[in-house]
Structure 1
Amino acid sequence: MATYLVGDIQGCFDDLRALLDTVSFNEKHDHLYLAGDLVARGPDSLSVLRFVKSLGDHAHTVLGNHDLHLLAVAEGFKKPKAKDKTQPILDASDRDELLHWLRQQPLLLHYDKRNEIAPGFVMTHAGIPPCWDLQNAKHHAKRIEKILRGDDYRWLLQNMYANEPTHWSNELEELEQYRYTINAFTRMRFCLKDGALDMACKLPPGQMTHGELVPWFEVTPRQNIEETLVFGHWAALGGVVNRHLMGLDTGCVWGGALTMIRWEDGQRYSLPCPIHAD
């Protein structure tokens, strides 16, 4: 049995299957952890959802910003983005079943089986804000997950869009807390040096001219999390892997590569991809 971690699929189904074939992925014994954004700009988001769902307990995915956007579009709260290719999902005969399944997925996964590589890993789509330790991160993730899985999920999907607040506080109104949580887990890239979220900049860190912005994982001080932080979302990083971080989005949909890591030994697999996004 092996545990594989893979970055943003974004509807690139054939690339995912090709990468899994290179490691002879066994759907009955191996486990696949996906860093969110299963859908959006690639050619076959419908097949990605069907396949990941079909893996049952052998697939574990967190929600990304594109996944949440699909749910909002399906409820009529948002219009599809011009470059998204998710209409086949909305037209599918199993649409409701797939969207219900997607809505049950978490914002955060904690894999606490220790090995010689690291104590364990925590996976979210974008990262964990510097003001939260693991206990707080899990608590706030569960608050959102409970709503999405319950009867009031439409209210949250309708009201989750905003770039504010940028700072966490226990004094925030409830909806503001939900917005901060969703932004931190699914949209965050840069922060100001005081830890405030910046929702605008998408550049690689090396191209930054704004000295006040730093990658979320370089903010100091930040709460200590012993586990390796695994995330996607930020293709411009080009993938980053060290003792404390695994950035798995290497831009498959943009003509980069699809990247997967076998957790047990740290072996990295990367498959060059054609450009799928318009």
Structure 2
Amino acid sequence: MTTYAIGDLQGCHEEFVALLERLDFDPRRDRLWLVGDLVNRGPGSLACLREVMALGEAATTVLGNHDLHLLAVARGGARENRKDTLAPILSAPDRERLLDWLQSRPLLVRRASPAHGETVMTHAGLLPQWSVDQAAMLADEAEARLAGEGAGAFLEEMYGNEPACWRDDLDGIDRLRMIINAFTRMRFIDGAGCLDFAAKEGLDSAPPGFAPWFQYPRHDDPWLLFGHWAALQGETPASRVRAEALDTGCVWGSRLTALDLESGQRTSVPSRQR
């Protein structure tokens, strides 16, 4: 059995199918980890959702910011953005089944392996101030709110850039919003673990006093798998942690990438987007 971690699909269904063929992926034997953002911006978001859901236990995915945006539009009263490509999902006859499945996905998954020790996958990364155990508990808090009564109201309230800094005494919607933002929107942070939400390009776009989250040291040493940051093109320069960037910008015309979690080998297929 081989486990492959794959970067942001964002509706690139043709490339997803081509990559699975390149890998000779067999769901009876192999497993997939997907770093979130299954949907939006690409033309095949509905097909991506159906494909991953149909794989059942062979596929594990975490929630990304675009996945949460879909849920907020469908169930939280949020508005679609001009560049969204969510309409086919919202009008699909199986939309509620797909949305139920998506809404039950986790924010963090972890496993232990002889080769790499503790492996952790989130969409955007792992805040250096959080241990893996703390991050897992915080993910559980937000996941419980997404699965609970009144989840629609929470999906509306989760939008926003405040608070930008983690504190253990945060509570209520501020606490949940910060958890969601750290797991799904983080790129640049400062030494106190405060997030910047404006800079979204490469490393030279860092605001003064900020650096990529993976350039800060940790007190533990997990193998971190993340997506979200297409401008990195799969690289983590000057990283001070073991971090694998898997979003290689398929939806922007670059490529879709899979990482073999046993061998560390990467396999990519070119984008078919223009």
TM-score relative to the length of structure 2:
0.95
Q: Is the 8 A contact 1:254 1:274 kept in 2?
A: no
Q: Is the 8 A contact 1:6 1:261 kept in 2?
A: yes
Q: CA deviation at 1:111?
A: 1.8
Deviations 1:33-68 (A, max 9, x none): 000000000111001000100010110000000000
Matched residue of 2:114: which SS?
coil
Q: Is the 8 A contact 1:251 1:257 kept in 2?
A: yes
Query: 4+ residue stretches of structure 1 with deviation over 4 A?
Result: none
1:172 and 2:170 aligned: yes
1:210 partner letter: P
How many Å separate the matches in 2 of 1:196 and 1:120?
A: 25
How many Å separate the matches in 1 of 2:228 and 2:89?
A: 22
1:239 and 2:237 aligned: no
How many Å separate the matches in 2 of 1:238 and 1:145?
A: 29
How many Å separate the matches in 2 of 1:182 and 1:189?
A: 13
Q: Aligned pair in 2 of structure 1 residues 40, 224: CA closer, same or farther (>3 Å)?
A: same
How many Å separate the matches in 2 of 1:98 and 1:107?
A: 17
Q: Is the 8 A contact 2:76 2:155 kept in 1?
A: no
Q: Which residue of 1 aligns with 2:69?
A: 69
How many Å separate the matches in 1 of 2:146 and 2:208?
A: 37
Equivalences, count: 271
Which of 258, 262, 272 does residue 260 from structure 1 map onto? 258
Q: Which residue of 2 aligns with 1:153?
A: 151
Q: CA deviation at 1:76?
A: 4.9
1:159 partner letter: E
1:101 partner letter: W
- Aligned identity (percent) is 46
Q: Which residue of 1 aligns with 2:30?
A: 30
1:215 partner letter: P
Q: CA deviation at 1:170?
A: 2.2
Q: Is the 8 A contact 2:185 2:228 kept in 1?
A: yes
Moved more, 41-50 or 187-196: 187-196
How many Å separate the matches in 1 of 2:117 and 2:159?
A: 35
How many Å separate the matches in 2 of 1:189 and 1:210?
A: 11
TM-score relative to the length of structure 1:
0.94
Q: Aligned pair in 2 of structure 1 residues 119, 131: CA closer, same or farther (>3 Å)?
A: same
1:65 partner letter: N
1:47 and 2:55 aligned: no
RMSD: 1.4
Matched residue of 2:120: which SS?
strand
How many Å separate the matches in 1 of 2:201 and 2:170?
A: 30
Deviations 1:196-233 (A, max 9, x none): 1111111211x2363311001113xx442322010000
1:8 partner letter: D
